[in-house]
């Protein structure tokens, strides 16, 4: 989940990456864009931001009814998040009870909430990138530093608020820290 409200930022020491309880047993998990209120460009770009810097795992776009991640780009007026990864058909939790540490095929859905992101392509793509990070098994990472141009340098796309989209060191792409975490996981 990507909360809209900025949380208190702590410039803590570097620590091991936090993972979700589950990830994919396959190195080519598939996603299907089931519903899109906006052009699919930003969703596809977001998946590519994880695929291009590494070869250990690849998010594969499909139109098949058999897929791992169902993607929705839609307006969720009753929810205060910009995006979420959750169990398929239920936006309240992410499956953490999985066999052998691996999600079953079709276990996840990814929602980008156009209520917040429809006016900005860069934010929509940034949110989709953050959520694909969850969908690959990454938990939040609040590691920050001081931005050379002033303000906060967000060192992970998994930073849990939209604050990372603002300032001199705004972040919309995975960092080296994020990519290394993916490589370590797959």
Yes or no: say if 157 and 130 are a contact pair by the CB < 8 Å rule. yes
Specify the pairing of strand 2-3 against strand 81-87.
Answer: antiparallel
Q: Which residues inside 2-31 make contact with Zn ion, applying CB under 5 A?
A: 2
Query: Whole-angstrom Cα distance, residue 171 to residue 12?
Result: 18
Nearer to Zn ion by C-beta: 8 or 148? 8
Q: Is 1 or 20 the residue whose CB approaches Zn ion more closely?
A: 1
Closer by beta carbon to Zn ion, 33 or else 138: 138
Please identify, among the stretches 1-9, 16-24, 60-68, 74-82, the one whose residues bind Zn ion according to the rule CB under 5 A: 1-9
128 in contact with Zn ion (CB under 5 A): no
Taking phi over 0 as left and psi of -120 to 50 as alpha, with beta for the rest, 113 belongs to: beta
Taking the complex as a whole, how short is the minimal distance between the CB of residue 159 and Zn ion, in angstroms? Answer: 9
- Nearest-approach distance from CB 24 to Zn ion, in angstroms: 18
Size, binding site for Zn ion by CB under 5 A: 2
Is the CB of residue 40 less than 8 Å from the CB of residue 71?
A: no
Q: List, in sequence order, the alpha helices (H) in 56-169.
A: 114-117, 121-135
Min CB(1)–Zn ion separation in Å:
5
Shortest distance, position 63 Cβ to Zn ion, whole Å: 27
Task: Quote the longest CA-to-CA distance of the chain.
Answer: 47
Residues of the shown chain interacting with Zn ion in the complex, contacts defined by CB under 5 A = 1-2
């Amino acid at each position: 989940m990507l909360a809209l409200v900025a949380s208190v930022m702590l410039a803590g020491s570097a620590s091991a990456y936090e993972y979700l309880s589950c990830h994919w047993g396959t190195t080519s998990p598939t996603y299907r864009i089931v519903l899109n209120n906006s052009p699919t460009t930003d969703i596809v770009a977001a998946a590519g931001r994880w695929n291009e810097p590494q070869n250990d795992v690849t998010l594969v776009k499909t139109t098949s009814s058999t897929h791992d991640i169902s993607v929705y780009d839609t307006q969720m007026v009753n929810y205060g998040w910009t995006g979420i990864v959750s169990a398929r058909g239920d936006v309240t939790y992410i499956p953490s009870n999985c066999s052998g540490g691996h999600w079953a095929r079709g276990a996840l859905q990814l929602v980008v909430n156009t209520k917040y992101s429809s006016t900005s392509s860069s934010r929509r793509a940034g949110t989709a990138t953050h959520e694909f990070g969850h969908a690959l098994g990454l938990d939040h990472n609040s590691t920050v530093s001081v931005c050379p141009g002033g303000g906060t340098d967000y060192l992970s796309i998994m930073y849990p608020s939209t604050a990372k989209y603002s300032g001199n060191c705004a972040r919309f792409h995975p960092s080296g820290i994020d990519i290394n975490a993916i490589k370590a996981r797959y």
